[in-house]
Amino acid sequence: MSVLVGKKAPSFKAKAVVDGQIVEEFSLDQYLGKQYVVLFFYPKDFTFVCPTELHAFQKHLADFQERNVAVVGCSTDTEFSHLAWTQVVKNAGGIKGVTYPLVADTNKTISSNYDVLVGQWTLDENDNLAADGELIAYRGLFLIDREGVVQHQVVNNLPLGRSVTEVLRMVDALQHFENHGEVCPMDWHKGEDAMKPTFAGVSSYLSSN
């Protein structure tokens, strides 16, 4: 599993569903220099754990917006599957009401570049693709700063849902560090005391941002 922290987030252009509409060329590049991004991958539309996460991000969307963070979901389903799912009500297993972008990684390249793609695949002598099981995404999540650099990542196996409040905590910690130059200890929350750093890596980061 690749560690992308400290590196530029892989760029992509793909179809997406945004607030009930299909967008032909969606890219994270639109946020560069303007907003932070929480990019999260989920395994599959019309499943069980996934809608609980998608609804949770929607419930807290205003909290992310207050922090100047764009929330973007991504799975290996098609844009048509995403669109259909957004039209199904919550109590029927749907995600109606989700307005943030849902990227369609139909050719699996985005999941592969972020190293969250589940499954094994090979090319035979005729360049035919052979896959061992479905090719879907782990529950990967990447916090990307305004310069397009990954500052936090977490990858869960398929049965394990994530915590949106923990994602917000990590956003707060990153922004506190950027604004005050203080590092945040374990279980730090916004408004609590942080610590003055004494190591050179922090100074180097601050000087470049």
Catalytic residues: 50
Residue 77: both structure tokens together: 């389903």
CB atoms within 10 A of CB 82: 24
Q: How far is CA 174 from the centre of its chain?
A: 16
How far is the CA of 154 from the CAs of 3, 62, 110, 131, in angstroms?
10, 22, 16, 25
Looking up tokens 């609804």 gives 55
Task: Give CA–CA dist 190/27, Å, rounded.
Answer: 30
Q: Can you list the pairs that 178-182 forms with residues at least 24 positions away whose Cβ atoms lie under 8 Å?
A: 178/145, 178/206, 178/209, 181/206
Q: Is 49 exposed, middle or buried (0-12, 13-18, 19+ CB in 10 A)?
A: middle
φ and ψ at residue 189, rounded to 5 degrees: -130, 155
